[in-house]
Homo-oligomer: A and B are copies of this chain.
């Protein structure tokens, strides 16, 4: 039976790893120890280094915060790659830049491993339910080989193309996410300024072609004034920068995205960067002086 390694037990990583444990033998590693304890209590082996994961696992999923953390996990004497056997699989689910994905793929290949990039779309709820959208990029045979692991964590598994294409898909999805949040904020702010009740607007938006789960969740948060971060504006801003960089490289003009990024910059300058992306609306409210609340 396949042994699966999981590195990075953050808010997303923990439920993803538990879902893996339902179907596979699991071994975990985390930089700090506390998040590993419930796994140890349940009899899941905890490695002392990423290398220790590599030595036991056939497939290792990495879910860390950024490109630097990914490199740290892979590289060095205690790194995952130092423990890798030829033909082992590394699946990167962290959201990093296309350059970081490329660098990771090269390192894994040089170490004799097989690499699949598979960023996920979705937040904690879908991570717990195993309904994350898995954006897989890799050679067909490699995605076939790890598909069972991916299916343990999410549904659907979208085959985006070769290595790196999962990362590109994720950038394009998050570009859309950011734009939708700013546009939603503009729509609600205009309606509010015209005297409309926020609940009426949420009902109007929630019942036609523009209806989206995003608007249900974030509309409720805005009406309640609850901006605790599920997905923080600072991270959305980072993704918008990566998407715009990619668009600049590819000569694809993206004016609505550019306007949205500056709106995100404004919300951050106004102090809302650590709040949820619902706080795009606060970048408008702080300027107009009107709050959109129930």
Contact segment of A7-15, A77-85, A242-250: A242-250
Q: B253 near A265 (CB under 8 angstroms)?
A: yes
Q: B173 near A205 (CB under 8 angstroms)?
A: yes
Complex: how many Å from CA A191 to CA B165? 9
Q: B175 near A186 (CB under 8 angstroms)?
A: yes
Please pick, from B121, B270, B286, the residue contacting A208 in the complex, using a CB distance under 8 A: B121
Query: In the complex, which residues of chain B have a beta carbon less than 8 angstroms from the beta carbon of A171?
Result: 190
Complex: how many Å from CA A177 to CA B210? 6
User: Interface digits, A247-291 against B, CB 8 Å rule (1 contact, 0 not)?
Assistant: 110111111111111110110111000000000000010111100
A71 at the interface (CB under 8 A from B): no
Q: How far apart are A284's CB and chain B's nearest CB, in angstroms?
A: 7
A159 at the interface (CB under 8 A from B): yes
Interface residues on A, range: 35 or more
Please pick, from B122, B169, B183, the residue contacting A201 in the complex, using a CB distance under 8 A: B169
Contacts A201-B169, A252-B189, A259-B259 known; A213 to B211 CB distance under 8 Å? Answer: yes
Q: A213's closest neighbor in chain B, by CB?
A: B209
Q: A208 near B252 (CB under 8 angstroms)?
A: no
User: Interface digits, A146-181 against B, CB 8 Å rule (1 contact, 0 not)?
Assistant: 000000000010111100010011011101110110
Query: In the complex, which residues of chain B have a beta carbon less than 8 angstroms from the beta carbon of A168?
Result: 190-191, 194-196
Q: A200 near B160 (CB under 8 angstroms)?
A: yes
Q: B265 near A248 (CB under 8 angstroms)?
A: yes
Contacts A213-B211, A269-B252 known; A121 to B259 CB distance under 8 Å? Answer: no
A172-B187, A255-B262 given. 8 additional CB < 8 A pairs? A168-B194, A172-B188, A176-B183, A176-B210, A193-B252, A210-B214, A252-B269, A256-B256
Binding site for B on A (CB under 8 A): 98, 121-123, 126, 133, 135, 156, 158-161, 165, 168-169, 171-173, 175-177, 179-180, 182-184, 186-191, 193-197, 200-201, 203-205, 207-214, 217, 237, 241, 243-248, 250-263, 265-266, 268-270, 284, 286-289
